[in-house]
């Protein structure tokens, strides 16, 4: 990897932890420092927990990661991305128990990623429309979303807490709150999407008010033995969007609140800049083919604008994430382009507590075990991003033959 921006190493500092040493994340003990980041699994037809969903996470657990994340679970029907997004609700507890039990049996832990899609919700939601900080056209919804009223915000806070309680009842070890990618909570932080003039818009403190209320409400219902962290945008990657000048002070407020066990640092916008948190190839042909015809035309037309190309670099968010490491003392989870053992060691050596990996573990869920056994020192993902187009039909790496999945 490019080491030109590396900080100098203090020879008196303690040796950095091995990626395969256990670590503490709030009340949890993780068997090593590798977390499987959320990748929408695409196997929850109409939001049901399927055997394929359970197998997906048991497979990750068996491959050696310390913790796997069930991707994007909505707090309500209006907060789904698509009709196949799972809504965390009481009826699912027995099936989710099978999932969490299966992961635990492999010695790993499991988090539920909780969120509301906001402007990222697709146009399916006519009967349960989504909502935004301010009235705005959403290309994903192919329509205009209304601004949340204060009463809506009160309801949403309650829905977040109720969904977190379902996660607790289902045996999850942690909740990851989605505070990134311009989903609803993240869009409240973004000056280009939040134009409110009430106490939820304007200053940094006001834009943080709704996410902080959600964090507090979730914390109140979570049992002490469960961890809570947020996947938090460092930068939206769009003009006039959230940038480090504001996200750093926001992170300091969250740290001072003391309610989160960690921040997992990310960036980008599923609404306005879909490649910012991926980097690498833009699989436009596969995107278009995976969509219904009308949306496919839209993707073809607006694709180059919505999916600008960024070359892949190992640890592509490290320069941003270092600024958070320097300013904060709370535990941080590094995410973004970690593919090599040297990256894991470097990131941990710089004071990050854990490394989250998404595509590297889609490509090969056994990578943690292989690295721990010194069978390999790097993953095999080539950042073609064709897995992104498989989220509608069962998320997988296109380089893994079907009989090996
Ligand atoms: C197929 C796919 C689906 C994804 N789904 C989600 C998701 O549901 N929620 C989320 O926060 N991030 C999602 N991501 C983003 C990843 O969590 C991660 O931020 C991104 O892939 C960068 O990490 P990596 O370089 O280790 O792959 C997804 C990524 C991929 C490849
Ligand atoms: S399809 Fe496979 S190789 Fe391509 S980006 Fe996804 S995980 Fe990596």
* Ligand 1 binding pocket mutation candidate from 1, 35, 36, 38 (most atoms within 8 A of CB): 38
Query: CB under 8 Å to 71, separation ≥6 — which residues?
Result: 38, 39, 40, 41, 113
User: Nearest ligand to the C-alpha of residue 117?
Assistant: 1
* Ligand 1 binding pocket mutation candidate from 313, 358, 397 (most atoms within 8 A of CB): 358
Top-tier CATH class for 23-399:
alpha beta
Compute the distance from residue 42 Cα to the ligand 1 centre, in Å: 13
pLDDT along the chain (405 residues), means of 10: 45 74 98 98 92 97 98 96 94 98 98 97 81 94 94 98 98 98 98 98 98 98 98 97 98 98 97 93 86 65 75 97 98 98 97 98 98 98 96 93 83
Compute the distance from residue 323 Cα to the ligand 2 centre, in Å: 29
Compute the distance from residue 386 Cα to the ligand 2 centre, in Å: 6
Q: Atom 1 in ligand 1: which residue has the minimum CA distance? A: 388
Contact 118, 189 (CB under 8 A): no
Ligand 2 neighbours by CB, cut-off 6 Å = 359, 362-363, 381-387, 397-399
* Ligand 2 binding pocket mutation candidate from 286, 336, 383 (most atoms within 8 A of CB): 383
Nearest C-alpha neighbor of 248 from the set 352, 328, 348, 334: 328
Q: What is the pLDDT of residue 294?
A: 59
Atom of ligand 1 nearest to the CA of 81: 8
Compute the distance from residue 40 Cα to the ligand 1 centre, in Å: 7
CA distances from 196 to 104, 177, 206, 209, 353 (A): 44, 23, 9, 12, 36
Query: CB under 8 Å to 319, separation ≥6 — which residues?
Result: 5
Q: Burial-class residue 50 by CB neighbours within 10 Å (0-12, 13-18, 19+).
A: middle
Atom of ligand 1 nearest to the CA of 385: 31
Q: What is the pLDDT of residue 295?
A: 63
- What letter does residue 147 receive in the DSSP assignment? B
Q: What is the pLDDT of residue 12?
A: 56
Q: What is the pLDDT of residue 402?
A: 85
């Amino acid at each position: 990897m490019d080491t030109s921006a590396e900080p100098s190493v203090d020879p008196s500092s303690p040796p950095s932890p091995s990626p395969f040493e256990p670590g503490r994340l709030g009340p949890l003990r993780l068997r090593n420092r590798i977390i499987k980041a959320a990748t929408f699994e695409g196997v929850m037809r109409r939001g049901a927990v399927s055997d394929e969903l359970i197998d997906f996470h048991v497979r990750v657990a068996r491959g050696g990661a310390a913790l796997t994340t069930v991707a994007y679970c909505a707090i309500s029907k209006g907060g789904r991305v698509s009709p196949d997004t799972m809504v965390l609700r009481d009826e699912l507890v027995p099936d989710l128990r099978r999932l969490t039990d299966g992961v635990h049996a492999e010695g790993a832990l499991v988090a539920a990623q909780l969120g509301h899609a906001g402007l990222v919700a697709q146009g399916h939601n006519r009967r349960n429309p989504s909502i935004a900080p301010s009235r705005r056209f959403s290309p994903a919804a192919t329509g205009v979303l209304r601004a949340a009223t204060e009463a809506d915000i009160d309801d949403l806070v309650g829905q977040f807490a109720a969904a977190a309680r379902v996660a607790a009842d289902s045996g999850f070890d942690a909740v990851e709150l989605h505070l990134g990618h311009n989903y609803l909570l993240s869009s409240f932080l973004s000056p280009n999407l939040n134009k409110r003039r009430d106490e939820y818009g304007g200053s940094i403190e006001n834009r943080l008010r709704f996410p902080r209320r959600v964090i507090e409400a979730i914390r109140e219902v979570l049992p002490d033995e469960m961890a809570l962290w947020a996947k938090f945008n460092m930068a939206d990657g769009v003009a006039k969007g959230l940038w480090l000048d504001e996200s750093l002070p926001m992170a300091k407020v969250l740290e001072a609140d003391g309610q989160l066990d960690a921040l997992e640092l990310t960036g980008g916008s599923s609404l306005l800049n879909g490649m910012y948190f991926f980097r690498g190839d833009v699989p436009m042909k596969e995107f278009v083919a995976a969509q219904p015809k009308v949306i496919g035309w839209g993707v073809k037309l607006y694709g180059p604008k919505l999916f600008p190309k960024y070359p892949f670099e190992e640890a592509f968010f490290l320069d941003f994430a270092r600024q958070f490491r320097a300013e904060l003392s709370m535990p941080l989870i590094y995410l973004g382009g970690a593919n090599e053992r040297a990256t894991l060691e470097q990131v941990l050596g710089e004071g990050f507590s854990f490394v989250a990996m998404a595509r590297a573990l889609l490509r090969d869920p056994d990578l943690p075990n292989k690295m721990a056994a010194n069978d390999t020192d790097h993953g095999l993902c080539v950042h073609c991003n064709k897995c992104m187009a498989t989220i509608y039909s069962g998320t997988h790496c296109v380089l893994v033959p079907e009989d090996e999945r």
